[in-house]
Amino acid sequence: MKKRKLGKSGLEVSALGLGCMGMSIAYGPAGDKQDMIALIRKAVERGVTFFDTAELYGPFTNEELVGEALAPFRGKVVIATKFGIKLDPGGQQVQDSRPERIRQSLEGSLKRLKVDAIDLYYQHRVDPEVPIEDVAGAVKDLIREGKVKHFGLSEPGVKTIRRAHAVQPVTAIQSEYSLWWRRPEAELLPTIEELGIGLVPFSPLGKGFLTGKIDEKTTFDKSDFRNIVPRFTPEARKTNQVLVDLLRNIAERKKATPAQIALAWLLARKPWIVPIPGTKKLERLEENIGAVAVELTSQDLREIDSAASKVTIQGDRYPEALEKRTGL
């Protein structure tokens, strides 16, 4: 497995990470715990050293899973987790990045992950009630204490990034980025390249759509959040299939799969981009890891960009209430 550094921070990780959220929530029923532990450990065997979780996932159960699975590899892997969103008594997600809450979240995450320090600690979403300088200052204190190694932000706007970075250097930004969500190219990528910050794209396979395994007839489990995503209505899926067809055409020529082309495209964008596709299946893990070996030429990239620029994606990427929480 090739390695990459997240910006100028010196934090080195595998070129492809593993997003662990879907093992516990969001994409249908949670996976069997022992099966998921085996999957995470298989990823380590295959050279993956970068694993992504959050206290919100479950909540808490995903961190426990990741902590147990990676306990034998402590010091050899990088674990990223997140603070800043909690569930209220009614089960609704509430943002809370007050410094005292960050410290409380950290102590819980350290226990569940079975580590002495968090390698990369993201603010899960920007909290409009707490100045980002206070958030960055709280994490800076935790870094001084040796409880956190690197600071990150998930889906912030560029002004927020600059303000945070001035207080505590930001190692990585996590943001959705893929061939079917390219808004980060306008402002985010130039800003973080200037500041020397890495990018960790989540949903690099368009929540599964870019794998070519989903069409307008696909049905999802009732607990799968894609049921409420505008981009996943049957009509939108039918319209958006043209993007998958593009990937499939190039994949056939490269003796690869659409998913591998989608990931290889991201890897070719910048050397400081590290996607974190998630899966509950060993065969998908193997397929995703195979993307690192797929070489796209400059001609391939021009062809993809030219064809993709003619595609209008139908449907928003989130329901309106969730989209409002992002800083993009």
Q: Supply the residues annotated as catalytic.
A: 57
H-run or E-run covering 3: strand 3-5
Q: Are 47 and 306 in contact (CB under 8 A)?
A: no
Which among 145, 143, 105, 149 has a CA at the least distance from the CA of 123? 105
Neighbours of 64 (CB within 10 A): 17
Q: Are 56 and 124 in contact (CB under 8 A)?
A: yes
Helix, strand counts (H, E) of the chain: 11, 11
112: Cβ contacts below 8 Å, ≥ 6 apart: 55, 60, 63, 64, 67
106: Cβ contacts below 8 Å, ≥ 6 apart: 83, 118, 121, 142, 147, 148
What is the DSSP-derived secondary structure letter of residue 314?
-
Output the DSSP codes for 214-264.
--TT----TT-GGGG-GGGSHHHHHHHHHHHHHHHHHHHHHT--HHHHHHH
161 to each of 56, 123, 149, 219, 274, how far by Cα in Å? 22, 11, 18, 38, 18
Q: What is the dihedral of CA 75, 77, 78, 83, to 10 degrees?
A: -90
Pair type for strands 118-123 and 93-95: unpaired
